[in-house]
Structure 1
Amino acid sequence: MLKSLFNWKVLLNLLVAIGIFIGLVWLTFRWLEYHTNHGQEIPVPNVINKSVHDAVKILEDTGLDYEVDSAAYNPKYRPLQVLKVYPSPGSRVKDGRAIQLMVNPKSWAPVAVPDVINKYSGLAFQRLEQVGLKVSDTIYEPSIQKDAVLRILFKGNSIKPGTKIPRFSVIDVVVGSGPMRNIAIPNLVGLTVKEAKSVIARNLFEVGLVDHEDGGNDDSDIVYYQDPASGDARDQGMQIDLWASKKTPAELRGKIEILNSTYRMRVDTTLPPVRYDEVPNFQDPPPMNDPVPAPAPQKKEAPKTETAKPTGTSAKPTTTGDKPKPAVPTTTPATDKPKAKKVII
């Protein structure tokens, strides 16, 4: 058996098999080397600080592929500037290898605008600053919603909540300044209900009752009556009631007169004007706490008695004997004033 193993024919076949195996392995590696460009390496070009467009063109001309990724925005560098390259510049890679480029984006990462419409302006400003938006100007506009956010402007255009804009963008906020006073009511008679509603909204009033004469809800009906009347002064935010119909105003004359008697007050100018007299200004009585002054003492006057004083010519005594006769007093004339006698008490 051992002799048969060392037979020259067996040894020859074994050597042939080993040779064939080695040849196949060699051919396999040569084939792999040919298809994988083994030994043919390309140095990575230095594209740092170049724009991404220039870097991509250089890599394509070199025979390398690329992958672009954006980092956090850094205002120190130009937009779309290449910040890093992997593998690093100078490294040798095979033809067709993908090179990763780290690029500075155009601006900050976008953020969604929060929903602050119709919210109080103080809270709205805080919410906008929390997401990284900066409020530049506050524009006040007449509105019944005082101190409430009406619109958000970005680069002069109104944007809706949820719109994504770059972080740290500068925006303007429109805030309501409150309703205006004594604004003339617009004339809505003759317009369609749709047009009337648009005019009411444009003048910052509210749509109140809308009464359709046929009981329908057609906005193409013509407004034939309104309350308040056109030209009346009202504050913004007040409601305006509308009456609409498909009929002509001539056909609705009776109904218009009924509405006038209900909503329009007539002032009778035939009556004479009312005259108002001024009320005398009486002095108020002294307060109860103040002492009442005592009355001043009055002086007593002595009663006066009037007696008649004889006046006139006295009769001369006659000489009839030794004793003279007393004179007889005569009557006092009415023209003489009596003199009062002094009475001692």
Structure 2
Amino acid sequence: MLKSLFNWKVLLNLVIAIGIFVGLVWLTFRWLEYHTNHGQEIPVPNVVNKSVHDAVKILDDTGLEYEVDSANYDPKYRPFQVLQVYPAPGSHVKDGRTVRLRVNPRTWAPIVVPDVINKYSGLAFQRLDQVGLKIGDTIYEPSIQKDALLRILYKGNAVNPGTRLPRFSMIDVVVGSGPMRNISIPNVVGLSVKEARAVITKSMFEVGLVEYEDGGKDESDIIYYQDPAAGDVRDQGMQIDLWASKRTPAELRAKVEQLNSIYRMKVDTSLPPVHYEEVRTEPSYEPPVIPAPVPKKETPQPAVKTETPKAPATTSKPASSGVEKSKTPTGSNPASGNAHKPASATTKEAAEKPKAKKVVVE
């Protein structure tokens, strides 16, 4: 077997196969060098701070491709100024390599107007400032929506929510100042329903109930009655009810009189007017009641012993003799007046009778 392996024919085939393989590898590398421009590198030119038009022209002359990437607007740099280059300037790249340019845009990126219509003006202003819109003039317009944002104006034209505007654009806002008072109601009798709607809206009122005589909703029907009546004064935003028919108001005179009896109250002017007088009553002030003083309870004073000046002994006479005479023994004669009184009554009278003052005479 080894003898057949070293046969010259086998060795020749092996040498041919190796030569073919080496030739294919050499041709492959040569093709890659030619296709990738091996050894042919181009330095990236420095186009920073140049305008994007000049930078593109330089890259085209050099044989390099370019890609422009607009960054966020920076007011410190000029519009369309190249801020950065990748790969960095001075780097060697192959011919046809794409170079990325970071360019300052012309102005701020547009923003979307938020939906703040019919919202409270304070919250609406805050929201507009958050998205980057500057509020210029504030225009007040009569409206039943007091302090509500009614419209947004950009360069004099109304813009709707969702419209794109440049960032930091100056806008004007229309804010409701409250309803107007005492506005005269227009006369829409004889007009079509469509025309009446336009007149009522222009007069800053609203269309209320519309009653069609035939039950349809034909906007070409003629108004033959309205409530409130023309010439009355109402506040802005009040509703006006309408009655419409295909017939003229002259043909519906009976129905108009019927509606007048319902919606037009007749005032009897034959009675004298009632005068109201304002009566003012003066407040009465009563003096404060002072309570009467409570009498003090007197306590009995003890008997005081008094002495009289001394007198001669010849003129002295005991004063107690009179007291002793009033005393009667219990066993006295019943014929006397004091004999009928019981002993207890006599004792009580003696206790109630004040004691006589004792006078000592020396």
Specify if TM > 0.5.
yes
Measured in 2, the distance between the counterparts of 1:41 and 1:287 equals 114
Gaps (5+ residues) in structure 2? 289-362
Displacement, 1:86? 0.8
Q: CA deviation at 1:226?
A: 1.6
In structure 1, what is the equivalent of residue 205 of structure 2?
Answer: 205
1:232 aligns with 2:228: no
Q: What CA distance in whole angstroms lies between the structure 1 residues aligned with 2:283 and 2:5?
A: 156
Task: Classify the secondary structure of the residue corresponding to 1:49.
Answer: coil
Letter in 1 for 2:96: G
Partner of 2:111: 111
Distance 1:59 1:150, change over 3 A: same
Secondary structure (helix, strand or coil) at the match of 1:251 reads: helix
Residues 21, 60 of structure 1: CA spacing in aligned structure 2 closer, same or farther, 3 A cutoff? same
Contact 2:190 2:248 survives alignment (8 Å): no
Identity of counterpart residues, as a percentage?
Answer: 76
Query: What is the TM-score normalised by the length of structure 2?
Result: 0.68
One-letter amino acid of the counterpart of residue 166, structure 1: P
SS at match of 2:251: coil
Report whether the alignment pairs 1:124 with 2:124. Answer: yes
Amino acid at match of 1:128: L
Residue of structure 1 in register with 2:100 after alignment: 100
1:136-151 equivalence runs, <5 A: 136-151=136-151
AA paired with 1:173?
Answer: V
**Structure 2 partner of 1:63:** 63
The separation in 2 between residues aligned to 1:153 and 1:131, in whole angstroms, is 16
- Aligned-pair CA distance for 1:5: 6.6
Classify 1:55/1:230 alpha carbon distance in 2 versus 1 (closer, same or farther; 3 Å): farther
Cα RMSD of the aligned pairs, angstroms, is 3.2
Post-superposition Cα deviations, 1:234-280, rounded to whole Å, max 9, x if no partner, equal 211111111111222232222122223333345667x4x8488998x
Which of structures 1 and 2 has the bigger CA Rg?
2
Post-superposition offset of 1:178: 0.8
Q: Does 1:253 align with 2:253?
A: yes
Output the CA distance in 2 between the equivalents of 1:179 and 1:236.
5
Counterpart-to-counterpart distance in 2, 1:135 and 1:89: 44
Structure richer in helix, relative to its length: 2
* Structure 1 residue matching 2:101: 3-state secondary structure: strand
In structure 2, relative to structure 1, the CA distance for the partners of 1:21 and 1:211 (3 Å cut) is: same
Matched residue type, 1:287: S
**Structure 1: tracts of 5 or more residues without a match:** 292-345
Q: Deviations over 1:208-247 (max 9, x none)?
A: 1111111122223222222222232221111111111122
- Matching of residues 289-308 of structure 1 within 5 Å: 289=286
Answer whether contact 2:73 2:109 (CA < 8 A) is retained: yes
Aligned residue in 2 for 1:241:
241
Partner residue in 1 for 2:87: 87
